[in-house]
A = this chain, B = another copy of it.
Amino acid sequence: MTIPASDPGELAARRDSALRDYEALRARSLSLDLTRGKPSARQLDLADRMLTLPGGHTAADGTDCRNYGGLQGLPELREIFSGPLQVPAGQLIAAGNSSLALMHDSIVHALLDRVPGADRRWVDEPRIAFLCPVPGYDRHFALCERFGIEMISVPMTADGPDMDVVERLVREDAQIKGIWCIPKYSNPSGISYSDETVRRLAAMPAAAPDFRIFWDNAYAVHHLTDTPVEIADVLALCAEHGHPDRAFVFGSTSKVTFSGGGVAFFGSSEANVAWTLKNTAKRTIGPDKLNHLRHVEFFGDTDGVLAHMRRHAELLRPRFDLVETVLTKELGGTGLASWTTPAGGYFVTLDVLPGCAREVVRRAGEAGIALTPAGATHPYGDDPRDSTIRIAPTYPDLAELELAITGLTVCVRLVATEKLLEQAG
């Protein structure tokens, strides 16, 4: 994206045109929501057969899933998700309905109980910091804020976080205890980590003996194309490079079956899994194994998961195509914005001219188009360039989505031309 050079007269004309479009947009009194990465009702319908499952209650090994116990979760469900999450089933925990909760609890356990390799509990450290590739996921950042964990932004490249920066910081600062990673179809950029990025994350020396990669593989099977992205196996690479306990892997079926009624997973080395189970055993007698069984009956096997995700893709691809089409039509070649074209996941990142994102979101809000707050993609809600906007195109229907994205482009044109005029004046 290059900032366009225009003469003031032409700029003013474009601003006036955008302003007329904006007033027309406002006059329509829209009420559209592009804020959260929620599946649409039609996507949820795909799993409606689960609403009358499991029917029975007996696991493969004879366990009565209605009763207490089974802390690690149903083995046959862990088998099904072992491949997609790249975690051996024996090192995978199937838990409740929220992978965010597993991330939260992993931090809590590390704060209050020494994580394998740690010299002390994190709560006893003078300072803890996490690396935050940006743009990133606001709920990760909210967890850091909640626990007083300092956030250090790291720029994203097309291959993942800028590894030169990551390696230097992690090597030098023993108080850096973690890094947030969404390695596949990342939220919000949609990019996937290259094999070399994963290898460097696994291999790099860390000053902290208890450094952890929080590997939020939220979109492991959420492909939009017929050529699924496959990322490198982080657990295997960590082990190979002498850091077997480095990665905590998270995943869930929240955007596979039901967002409210899915199953979340934690995977790691045997030592980390034992540590997590030891702490989890104090918290609960076991997860909802009936929901595990419900998922097993619904999917049958891993191929069942992949087939199910192709049906999601059929619903999602037209939405992402529409976003691409409208952005290209309205903003292509203007130099006012650039955007990602993800091959999976739930988001498109729209980059507007520096200093414009907040104002675009504000203007869109005034026109009845709710967007994720500008800055939410960055630690402390502060996008220093004020240019990143996250678009979540999955929830609205196609007609609403077209209205919303078209309206958004009007706001982008308006705010950008105003900004350029201001700078020119």
A142-B282, A147-B112 known; A55+B52 contact, CB < 8 A: yes
A261 at the interface (CB under 8 A from B): yes
A196 at the interface (CB under 8 A from B): no
A28 at the interface (CB under 8 A from B): no
Residues 124-152 (chain A) with a chain B CB within 8 angstroms: 139, 142-143, 146-147
A186 at the interface (CB under 8 A from B): no
A97 at the interface (CB under 8 A from B): yes
Docked Cα-Cα span, A259 to B70, in Å, equals 12
22 A–B pairs (Cβ distance < 8 Å), ordered by A: A44-B57, A44-B67, A51-B57, A52-B52, A52-B53, A65-B260, A65-B261, A67-B258, A96-B96, A98-B285, A98-B286, A100-B285, A104-B283, A104-B284, A112-B123, A142-B282, A143-B282, A146-B282, A260-B289, A260-B290, A261-B289, A288-B288
B-binding residues in A (CB < 8 A)? 36, 38-39, 41, 44, 47-48, 51-57, 64-70, 96-98, 100-101, 104-105, 108, 111-113, 123, 139, 142-143, 146-147, 254, 258-261, 279, 282-291
Contact between chains at B287 and A66 (CB < 8 Å):
no
B-chain residues with CB within 8 Å of residue A47 when the two chains form the complex: 66
Docked Cα-Cα span, A286 to B38, in Å, equals 13
Contact between chains at A288 and B65 (CB < 8 Å):
no
How distant is A345 from chain B, measured CB to nearest CB, in Å?
Answer: 16
How distant is A33 from chain B, measured CB to nearest CB, in Å?
Answer: 12
B-chain residues with CB within 8 Å of residue A68 when the two chains form the complex: 36, 38, 254, 259-260
Contact between chains at B108 and A70 (CB < 8 Å):
no
B-chain residues with CB within 8 Å of residue A56 when the two chains form the complex: 51
B-chain residues with CB within 8 Å of residue A282 when the two chains form the complex: 104, 139, 142-143, 146
How distant is A72 from chain B, measured CB to nearest CB, in Å?
Answer: 13
Nearest-neighbor residue (CB-CB) of A69 within chain B: B260
Contact between chains at A67 and B55 (CB < 8 Å):
no
How distant is A191 from chain B, measured CB to nearest CB, in Å?
Answer: 24
Contact between chains at A288 and B285 (CB < 8 Å):
no
Report which of B123, B284, B289 forms a contact with A101, defined as CB distance below 8 A: B284
Contact between chains at B284 and A100 (CB < 8 Å):
yes
Docked Cα-Cα span, A55 to B285, in Å, equals 28
Contact between chains at A98 and B283 (CB < 8 Å):
yes
Further 11 A-B residue pairs, CB within 8 A, beyond A52-B55, A100-B283, A288-B291: A38-B68, A48-B57, A51-B55, A68-B259, A98-B283, A105-B283, A143-B282, A259-B285, A260-B287, A260-B289, A261-B290
B-chain residues with CB within 8 Å of residue A53 when the two chains form the complex: 51-52
Report which of B139, B258, B283, B285 forms a contact with A66, defined as CB distance below 8 A: B258
Docked Cα-Cα span, A147 to B113, in Å, equals 9
How distant is A417 from chain B, measured CB to nearest CB, in Å?
Answer: 37
Contact between chains at B36 and A260 (CB < 8 Å):
no
Contact between chains at A97 and B258 (CB < 8 Å):
no
B-chain residues with CB within 8 Å of residue A258 when the two chains form the complex: 66-67, 290
Docked Cα-Cα span, A36 to B69, in Å, equals 11
